[in-house]
Structure 1
Amino acid sequence: MQNRQWILASHPRGAADEATWTLIEAQRPTPGPGQILIRTQWLSVDPYMRGRISPSANYAKGVQIGEVMQGGGVGEVVASNHPAWKIGDIAESMDVGWQEWAVLTPDLPGASRVNKVDPGIAPPQASLSWLGMTGLTAYIGLLEIGRPRPGDTVVVSAASGAVGQLVGQIAKLAGARVVGIAGSDEKLAWCRTIGFDATINYKTADDPTSAIAAACPNGVNVFFDNTGGPIHDAVLKNLAVAARVVICGRIALADTFDQEDIGLRASSRLIVTRAMIQGLVVFDWWHRRDEALARLAAWHKSGAIQTKEDVLEGFERVPQAFLRMMAGQNFGKQLVRL
């Protein structure tokens, strides 16, 4: 039986396109001792993957030309050589890759661990979204780095995206006032539906700096930055004293990924505000995964958090899903159902 795979054809210089990957057919793999074989049901595409297809040094090993594209997925176990896994179990792993069948090693540590999915808690694809890496990113980034206090003003860029929609709702649970920034009125209407207090359309605002100042008259206490670029600069001009800035992503700079990010020199503003800026790599916090997912599951069950998914159908459309997510065309968590 064949195993269709998307392999990396080239390292893009600038924006990726569909020619970045090639669809091939390989033999379906066979699990070895202590391994399982899954038939992939869902694949996740995420902004961090842009770093994995760059030849530049990054915080994790990149995908080499000719290798299967890296990515998280969910699938049904169809063969098992592991005593804790049986045929029919649902598995989630960061190491599935863009392929229809995958051999996984459940006992690997950290982010390479294979997680058993309980469909009784949430639909299986939730483990790729709010009940998985995405949820952990929002939870840790906001509560451990952003540390919102009741009455704080929290600004979230890419507010309707997979991470942003969760950050805003968790901030409301912490008693903060939340301002969302996104690029369409439809996306911002969704943000207000789930509790955001104010929203800014960065594409139609004449002056983003002034728009943020108007929405945040007492300054920005916490900025959860999913975009980088001009939005980042505009928010930094509006920081309150002792503000906390969480650098989670830089999707606004995807087309210039391997170039220096040159913008506002914020050092004088940081002195005046005594603000803290910290980068977030969620894999550093994987030991907190179980804690985060337990709280997220409880919040979701109580109705305190809601999420939106953007699903494309068919394995052939995985590159398309990635590209539309990177272009900001997705509405909610971008997934592919095989």
Structure 2
Amino acid sequence: MSQAPVNRQVLLKSRPSGIPQAEDFEIVEAPAPAPADGQVLVRNLFLSVEPAMRGWVSAVANYSQPVGIGEVMRSFAVGRVVASRAAGYHEGDLVVGMFGWQDYAAVGPEAIQRRIEESDLPPSTALGVLGLNGLTAYFGLLDVGQPKSGDTVVVSTAAGSVGSAVGQIAKIHGCRSVGIAGGPTKVALCLDEFGFDAAFDYKAGDLDAALDRACPNGVDVYFDNTSGPISDAVMKRLNVGARVVICGTASVASWDPWPKGPRVERHLLVKRARMQGFVIFDYAKHYAEAWPVLADWVRAGKLRYREDILDGIEHAPGAIAGLYRGENLGKRLIRIADPDQGAQ
């Protein structure tokens, strides 16, 4: 009987008080598990890094149970089935699901989001433009934001994997897209790579003046990934009937104690605007509607994407903090195996 391969696992070592840092995690080694009846053994190829992971490890109330101390860090991953004891799954299948930051995962079908069918596209896209990020942009903008042709759509963290997709989907639907990003490199990416009609650097000076130049006719849809001063400035420019999609609060370092800031109620009242929180997992039953649409947009060149790939699981512990420092240009992934050799 052959010896089980080594399974490197990234465990949560301590509970972060804010943004998780590298020292909050540890890497351990154990034998790869054997799949039980009804399970498959997945060899992970790419691990996802999400801003939402900050909430997944926080002790503060969130939309999901926090990862426990000593547990494998929760994560979506793309992997290849290397052994199957589950009906409908076969050795060699490429799958995406909640497999965690580790080399191998023995999981049941409930942990598998889907089998990857887009053989003409890189498998890594199942974690980005065809994964949670693309889905978030698609449903957050179209279902919650409800853009109409001619609307001005403003998105914060516009060069990121979600924000860049929001801007492009807005353009596909006949809207004017305005991106807010941090630094000239990311602004150039919004304009040259993702085709925003306007974009500006929120760090570069007078935020109000920049918004006035970029949105001379006000704001109809605001896709908010940041909260904080950026959002305070946008609120003042909402048009009558505007829609605000609350997707993230990246600018707030800690919610304990709860930060205080300008009140938005008057803006919403006077402009008869609507503000709604959005969590992509609420749309799980509808994912299958979006995947072929997003894939066709990618194939047609209407939806472009960037990936920021770190090679090696040793980069995982510090990867979340790097997101919040703005290090990445595109969807952050950790490659831990060659996709073409993943079945070995």
TM bin (shorter chain): over 0.9
Greater alpha carbon shift after TM alignment, 275-284 vs 2-11: 2-11
Q: Which residue of 2 aligns with 1:228?
A: 227
- Distance in 2 (CA, whole Å) between partners of 1:259 and 1:18 is 23
- Distance in 1 (CA, whole Å) between partners of 2:113 and 2:206 is 46
For the Cα contact (< 8 Å) 1:156–1:224, is it kept in 2? yes
Q: Which residue of 2 aligns with 1:278?
A: 276
Report matched runs for 1:304-323 at 5 Å: 304-323=302-321
Per-residue deviation at 1:78?
Answer: 0.9
Q: Which residue of 2 aligns with 1:248?
A: 247
Greater alpha carbon shift after TM alignment, 151-160 vs 187-196: 187-196
Aligned partner letter, 2:140: G
Residue 251 of structure 2: SS of its match in structure 1? helix
Q: Is residue 69 from structure 1 mapped to residue 73 from structure 2 by the alignment?
A: yes
Q: Which residue of 1 aligns with 2:342?
A: none
Report matched runs for 1:180-259 at 5 Å: 180-193=179-192, 194-204=194-204, 206-253=205-252, 255-259=253-257
What RMSD in Å do the two structures reach over aligned CA positions? 1.2
Q: Which residue of 1 aligns with 2:341?
A: none
- Distance in 1 (CA, whole Å) between partners of 2:198 and 2:126 is 29
- Distance in 2 (CA, whole Å) between partners of 1:131 and 1:23 is 29
For the Cα contact (< 8 Å) 1:36–1:77, is it kept in 2? yes
Q: Which residue of 2 aligns with 1:34?
A: 38
For the Cα contact (< 8 Å) 1:209–1:237, is it kept in 2? no
Report matched runs for 1:44-83 at 5 Å: 44-83=48-87
Q: Which residue of 2 aligns with 1:6?
A: 10
Per-residue deviation at 1:170?
Answer: 0.2
Q: Which residue of 2 aligns with 1:24?
A: 28
Q: Which residue of 1 aligns with 2:146?
A: 147
For the Cα contact (< 8 Å) 1:243–1:275, is it kept in 2? yes
Aligned partner letter, 1:331: L
Q: Which residue of 2 aligns with 1:104?
A: 107
- Of 267, 270, 281, which residue of structure 2 is paired with 1:269? 267
For the Cα contact (< 8 Å) 2:23–2:317, is it kept in 1? no
Residue 239 of structure 2: SS of its match in structure 1? strand
Structure 1 residue runs without a partner (length 5+):
none
- Distance in 2 (CA, whole Å) between partners of 1:36 and 1:65 is 26
Q: TM-score, normalised by structure 2?
A: 0.94
- Structure 2 vs 1, CA of residues 162 and 258 (structure 1 numbering), >3 Å: closer, same or farther? farther
For the Cα contact (< 8 Å) 2:18–2:58, is it kept in 1? no
Q: Which residue of 2 aligns with 1:330?
A: 328
Residue 185 of structure 2: SS of its match in structure 1? helix
Aligned partner letter, 1:142: L
For the Cα contact (< 8 Å) 1:55–1:62, is it kept in 2? yes
- Distance in 1 (CA, whole Å) between partners of 2:197 and 2:284 is 31
Q: Deviations over 1:204-250 (max 9, x none)?
A: 1x221231122111111000011111111111111111110000011
For the Cα contact (< 8 Å) 1:310–1:335, is it kept in 2? yes
- Distance in 1 (CA, whole Å) between partners of 2:311 and 2:139 is 31
Q: Is residue 128 from structure 1 mapped to residue 127 from structure 2 by the alignment?
A: yes
Aligned partner letter, 1:232: S
Residue 242 of structure 2: SS of its match in structure 1? strand
Aligned partner letter, 1:3: N
For the Cα contact (< 8 Å) 2:18–2:54, is it kept in 1? no
- Distance in 1 (CA, whole Å) between partners of 2:92 and 2:85 is 13
- Distance in 2 (CA, whole Å) between partners of 1:4 and 1:57 is 30
For the Cα contact (< 8 Å) 1:229–1:261, is it kept in 2? no
- Distance in 1 (CA, whole Å) between partners of 2:13 and 2:87 is 38
For the Cα contact (< 8 Å) 1:118–1:124, is it kept in 2? no
Q: Which residue of 1 aligns with 2:167?
A: 168
Residue 168 of structure 1: SS of its match in structure 2? helix
Greater alpha carbon shift after TM alignment, 208-217 vs 30-39: 208-217
| Divergent runs of 4+, >6 A | none
- Distance in 2 (CA, whole Å) between partners of 1:243 and 1:83 is 48
Q: Percent identity?
A: 46
Q: TM-score, normalised by structure 1?
A: 0.95
